[in-house]
Amino acid sequence: MVVIPRLDRGIQCLGFEKIQVVTNIQITHMMNIFLFIWLNFTRIIMKYNKISFIFPGQGSQYIGMGNEFLEGFDIARDIIDEASRVLGYDVAHLILKKPRFGKIRHKADLNKTVYTQPAVLITSYLCFKVFETFCKEVKVHLEPAFLAGHSLGEYTALLAAGTMDFKTTLDLVKKRATYITEFSKTYPDAGLMAIVNRGSELDSNRVDSLCGEFQVYKSIINTPKQIVVGGFRKNLTSLAKQLKKENMHGVPLNVEGPFHTPLMQPAADKFKKALDKCNIQIASKPVIANVSSEAIVDPEHIRKELYLQIFSNVDWRRSVEKIVANGGDLFIELGPKTILSKMVKDIAPSAKTLNVENMETLKQTVKELAEIEGDL
């Protein structure tokens, strides 16, 4: 309920859409102007104190992601066209659109890191820009308090925060994916495995002990019930057997290398040369970092974070907890699937989650955010 000040006890707001005059006082010309502005430009009842935009990473990709927005929004087509120029191939047909032929081969290409990472960045940024455009069209004023992204998604968060332009960000992600793939070939028998405890929280100290015993590394701390570890597959296989004895599960992940482990430092060192050359600006909004879980805004800290992130563990759980501890009560996932939304609910059950990845979720999210006159 939003209440208009009762001028001379003559006007009050009943609900949100209806204004009733309860006395015969004369409304002045200035009051008419006030009401017009109020009705047409302040049409939203915001339900949440601090909103966070979150962006997914590798693993959220699927054939056809982003299609609906390409058909309905010029901004989406502009992003795809620019991405194609930067990457040197037709993004819309090779990555985003469902092919008429060769679907199996197409899916295999999409799941290769060199294609996956640019594709997810492009789609997530596309979702963000469409959401931003749509909110402006229906006069929803939305100001996120925080931004965050999971692994690759951190680049989308930094892009949305204005630290880099689209071309610079996409070029960095292309190099990141290329170097990670190159150095992963140095360790063909290495990979990642998720440690999952479906019944209760994982004992972090016990996981640390097992990592030392089986010579693997913590890679990603996703939720209280899921931690990803990386290393050589023979060690991961041995660890999985021990986990089963302790009523935990080891789930191998379909990735090309031991991402976010010390084994990837050579890739990070090569990437750092490109990172040091790119133009990075101060962020317009705080971005919660994967490695440190601190709010980063200045170029020096951003460069350090993006360098460390390649060979250090991503602590998504701590990032979400940091946002919640600072008043974050709504998370909007912008990009393919709802993997992060589910993680947020595991970390902070009381937090509200919404997502935008197609027209249906776009409209549902905007309706949830505010009561708006008329049909969207």
Q: Could you list the active site residues?
A: 151, 260
**How far, in Å, CA of 82 to CA of 169, rounded?**
12
Closest CA to 305 of 200, 125, 154, 114: 154
Token pair for 53? 């935009």
- C-alpha–C-alpha distance, residues 123 and 95, integer Å: 10
| Encoded tokens for 250 | 């080891």
Contacts of residue 351, defined as CB under 8 A and 6 or more positions apart, other chains included, come to 320, 324, 328, 329, 330, 331, 344, 345
**DSSP state string for 155-198:** HHHHHHTTSS-HHHHHHHHHHHHHHHHHHHTT-TTEEEEEEE-S
Identity of the amino acid at 24: N
Per the CB < 8 A criterion, the answer to whether 301 and 281 are in contact is no
Burial of 40 (0-12, 13-18, 19+ CB in 10 A): exposed
Q: CA 228, CA 124: separation in Å to the nearest integer? A: 23
User: What is residue 208's three-state secondary structure?
Assistant: helix
C-alpha 357/C-alpha 376 separation (Å) is: 17
> Would you tell me how many other CB atoms lie within 10 Å of the CB of residue 140?
19
